[in-house]
Amino acid sequence: MLLDLTITQLSQGLKAKKFSSEDIVKECYSNIERLNPSINAFITIIDKDVALKEAHNRDKDRGSDSSVLHGLPYVMKDSYNTQGIRTTAASNVLADYVPPYSSTVYQKLVDAGAILIGKTNMDAWGHGASSENTDFGPVKNPWDQSRVAGGSSGGNAAALAARMTVFAIGEDTGGSIRNPSAWSSTTGLKVSYGRVSRYGCIAYVSSFDTMGPMAKTVEDCAHILEIIAGIDQYDATSSPQPVPHYKDHLRDKLTDLTLGLPKECFGEGLDTEIKASIMEAASLYKKIGINIKEISIPLLEYGVPVYYLIGTSETSSNLARYDGIRFGQGRGEFTKETMRRIMLGTYALSAGYYDAYYKKAQQGRTLFIKEYTRALSECDAILMPVEPMVATKFGELINNPIQNMLADIYTCQTPVGVPSLALPCGFTKENLPIGMQIIGNMFAETLLLRLGYAYQNNTDWHTKKPNIGEHGK
């Protein structure tokens, strides 16, 4: 299958005329037509003839200096505004909303010659860890269709795992890229805050939201990030920090580096198979010359309350704009989970409670920044789980609001703005994917990608794909 190839391999094959963009697009639609009815990864699928016409044009105008993404089909989480193409955030509030402008990330991909083939399903407004909190039906995990795909970027991960796309663009606030990547055996990068423009992406928590790549491999993520990263005049929070040539540094030697293992992440509550897989990964890193050191992050247990107090407060403000006059549907269309978060946030911001809750959470956030600065002064990067459990059965998270929030225990630690790379590191006895994450200092994406690339060069977990149809039929 062409869709088993990496972005590098596909780009080289296209330039050598071994196959065409039309061939790749046809393969995507063949898999979408065959698998999406059961997986439900998409909210909007671009008309096949439109995509094929664009692929034909990309084949005609391809040159030796064309972008590595030129002519490659991809999908976007349905939180990105795409001019002329419906954008819903998986909510009936925006069921018929067609934006008059495009997000910066989408425009950069258009300019690079990539071909959008669909907008993917997600937890409505980013509110969830399972892609069950959606008005367009839950996303099923291609590895076991009785289980969730993770969230909130679950549609992206499912489409990647099922080979319905070459790559995907997600959004991560407190784990929304990393969680589904871990549960689907794909690779995803939560970038440093400000590394990629947020302009045109529907906000969940404005001070946390990050836009990033999801793909089959670390190398693919490096290619995508190099194109979508950078300062943007439309986003005052985007960073002027220069964008490195990430792909050119993937093979740099990893010398005198130390990976920290936070002892708080490997105690009670962590699935034993997940712990064993990550310890095996640590052993592999040790074999290739990287030092492994136990560290401590004592504030870890406070991550969930700090994250959710700030998160619900900001989302209650952000969602106030979605009235029926401007967007077509009334606020009564919000799901129970979204209404719960609006009420929590409104309460935390209300008179008499602001100091006790929101202000206290912001103080806690400052302590987390100091905590991670201290921890990362003892090591170059941190290795830890993405989730305490493997992909859950349907209903286990969406019907238990507290458990739904606690699923973010290891991923909501990044409101401090630091980047984190999630990648496959094994499977359980039931053949369910296991993922790990590597966290670094601000704008340390180059290092994280090098570490991830070295790991994938010495393992083959990322090459595995599900035998769809075995479960859940």
Cα distances (angstroms) measured from residue 314 to each of 251, 281, 419: 40, 37, 21
Which of the four pLDDT bands, split at 50, 70 and 90, describes residue 415? low
Is 80 exceeded by the pLDDT of residue 1?
yes
Whether 328 is covered by a domain: the verdict is yes
Sign of CA dihedral 7, 11, 16, 21: positive
Task: Provide the pLDDT for residue 472.
Answer: 39
pLDDT at 470 over 60: no
The SS3 of residue 472 is coil
- Quick: pLDDT tens for 28-60: 999 999 999 999 999 999 999 999 999 999 999
397 domain-assigned: yes
Determine the average pLDDT of the residues in 405-419. 82
Is the per-residue pLDDT at 414 higher than 70? Answer: no
321 is in which domain, residue-wise? 2-463
Would 38 be classed as within a structural domain?
yes
pLDDT at 304 over 70: yes
Backbone angle region of 115, left / alpha / beta, with phi > 0 → left and psi within -120 to 50 → alpha: beta
Q: Which residues are CB-neighbours of 106 under 8 A, at least 6 positions away?
A: 76, 80, 81, 82, 116, 169, 200
Asked if the structure places residue 434 within a domain, the reply is: yes
Segment 366-393, tens digit of pLDDT: 999 999 999 999 999 999 999 999 999 9
Residues known to be catalytic: 77, 152, 176
**Could you count the other beta carbons within 10 Å of the beta carbon of residue 104?**
23
Is residue 468 over pLDDT 90? no
The predicted model gives 219-242 an average pLDDT of: 98
The reported pLDDT for the residue numbered 471 is 39
Q: What CATH number is given to the structural domain containing 215?
A: 3.90.1300.10
Please determine, for residue 173, whether its predicted confidence score (pLDDT) is greater than 50: yes
CA 421 and chain centroid, separation: 10
Residue 53 phi, psi (nearest 5): -65, -40
- How many domains does one find in the chain? 1
Mean of the per-residue pLDDT values for the chain? 95
Q: How confident is the model at residue 285 (pLDDT cuts 50, 70, 90)?
A: very high
- Taken in order 277, 282, 286, 289, is the CA torsion positive or negative? positive
Query: Does residue 469 lie within any of the structural domains?
Result: no
